[in-house]
Amino acid sequence: MDSDSMTASPPAGSVDGEILVRVRNLKKHFPILGGLFRRQIGAVKAVDGVTFDIYRGQTLGLVGESGSGKSTTGRVMLQLDPATEGTVHFENTELTATKGEEMRQLRPRMQMVFQDPHASLNPRMTVASIVGEPLREHRAGNREERKQRIDELLSLVGLEPSHANRYPHEFSGGQRQRIGIARAIALSPDFIICDEPIAALDVSIQSQIVNLLEELQDTLGLTYFFISHDLSMVRHIADTVAVMYLGKIMELGDVDGLYNTPRHPYTQALLSAVPIPDPKLEAVRRRTILEGDIPSPANPPPGCPFNTRCPVAQERCSIEVPEWRELTPGRWVSCHYAE
């Protein structure tokens, strides 16, 4: 099916089913250079033709193993890395064709929360300087108005405004991530990409940060693209879930349907590894153990990228790339044999 014809059903609660971000056949290939003259001899296919929609006011969760291309997808969507091929539409603007001052004017509406709050905050800047940097960069208000806005932002994320003159190293990991979130919402964006925002935090703090993100979404009307390898947390926060493997999306659907009745063998394997809090059910359920490691994106297998590890793979799978097809309304899958 042509990727342009994708019309997934809007999640319950979306604002009139309005699509805020539309991604079509997005690719990001990094060149491999070699030889005396450093010519291109290959490419790392980090993102290899992904298609999905994100509805306004909703959260799309992207899950998969490390190295599957999740973070690169987020960076290319915001044009932090240029796309090799494909399009990303934000409302009516095609971001892949937007450059210079026009792109700069759109930046306040699209922000990112990074994985490691220690690495993403400048250790030489105070919290007030870090949170206020987007306001200064885009000349939002005078000095007094910016100070009031910084205090307001710190309160919104659960920090004391009186701590504004402290430095990042004086805060815990969870507090540093709250600072990063305050910086991301400073310019009142519509869309935020959360790139594994809880991966570097203690388990006891992770739920606090996810709850904060949900509260901000309700209060500010935010739309999230939530990248994570933690399937349990994604189930908690997402409305729609996409499962990624080796640069491609294997399955896409609403969170309840995908978790309760996974159709793709890779999704089934991932969910079978998630612990169940009921000891009796945990003791009798069947697990799908995947053999081997994820192949290199510089040399992906022919046919279906998952065929080298798939427990139900047939000869066809190593020859023919599966069609990206809609099994039921809103449930998309890339597998010859998924029903």
Write out pLDDT tens, residues 280-309: 666 666 777 787 788 899 999 999 999 999
Kindly state the tokens that stand for 133: 């940097």
User: What is the overall mean pLDDT for the chain?
Assistant: 90
For position 189, what pLDDT does the model report?
Answer: 96
CA atoms within 13 A on the CB side of 207: 4
Strands 59-63 and 240-245: parallel
Find the helix packing angle between 173-184 and 143-156, rounded to 10°: 130
What residues contact residue 199 under an 8 Å CB cut-off, 6+ apart? Answer: 115, 228, 229, 230
Alpha carbon 4 to its chain centroid, in Å, reads 21
Confidence (pLDDT) at 8: 46
Which CATH number characterizes residue 102's domain?
3.40.50.300
Query: For 180-216, what is each residue's pLDDT tens digit?
Result: 999 999 999 999 999 999 998 888 899 999 999 999 9
**Residue 178 falls within a domain, yes or no?**
yes
Output the pLDDT for position 294. Answer: 84
Whether residue 339 is contained in a domain is answered as no
Q: Are 54 and 223 in contact (CB under 8 A)?
A: yes
pLDDT in the model for residue 278: 67
> Residue 76 to residues 53, 62, 67, 134, 181: CA-CA distances in angstroms?
15, 14, 15, 21, 20
- HEC string for 13-49: CCCCCCEEEEEEEEEEEEEEEECCCCEEEEEEEEEEE
| 105 domain-assigned | yes
Q: Which residue's structure tokens are 């209060």?
A: 219
Listed ranges 33-47, 110-124, 151-165; the one with the highest mean pLDDT: 151-165
Query: What would the two tokens of residue 170 be?
Result: 């004086």
Q: How confident is the model at residue 11 (pLDDT cuts 50, 70, 90)?
A: very low
Q: What is the mean pLDDT of residues 40-56?
A: 93
Which residues form the domain of 96? 3-334
Where does the chain show beta strands of DSSP type E?
19-34, 39-55, 59-63, 85-90, 93-94, 110-113, 191-195, 223-228, 240-245, 248-254, 324-328, 331-334
- Quick one: pLDDT at residue 13? 36
State yes or no: pLDDT of 14 exceeds 50.
Answer: no
**Listed residue (173, 174, 193, 175) closest to 184, CA to CA:** 193
Residue 331 is predicted with a pLDDT of: 94
Residue 40, burial from CB neighbour count under 10 angstroms (0-12, 13-18, 19+):
exposed
Cα–Cα dist 228/225, whole Å:
10
Q: What is the pLDDT of residue 71?
A: 95
Does 181 fall in a domain?
A: yes
Contact 293, 277 (CB under 8 A): no
Q: What CA–CA distances, in Å, run from 60 to 40, 219, 290?
A: 35, 18, 26
Share of the chain above pLDDT 90, in %: 74
Q: Exposed e or buried b for every residue in 187-196, given b needs 16+ CB within 10 A?
A: bebbbbbbbb
What pLDDT is stored for residue 283 in this prediction? 66
Does pLDDT of 9 surpass 90?
A: no
Is the confidence at residue 15, as pLDDT, over 70? Answer: no
314 in a structural domain: yes
**331-334 and 324-328 beta bridge pairing:** antiparallel
Distant-in-sequence, close-in-space partners of 26: CB < 8 Å, separation ≥ 6: 47, 49, 50, 51, 73, 76, 77, 83, 85, 86, 87, 88
**Strands of 59-63's sheet, edge to edge?**
110-113, 191-195, 223-228, 59-63, 240-245, 248-254, 331-334, 324-328
Q: How high is the pLDDT of residue 339?
A: 84
The reported pLDDT for the residue numbered 334 is 96
Report the percentage of the chain scoring pLDDT > 70. 93
Residue 177 lies in a domain: yes
Give the tens place of pLDDT for each residue, 206-264.
999 999 999 999 999 999 999 999 898 999 999 999 999 999 999 999 999 999 999 99
Is pLDDT of 68 > 80?
A: yes
CB atoms within 10 A of CB 314: 12
Domains: count for the chain: 1
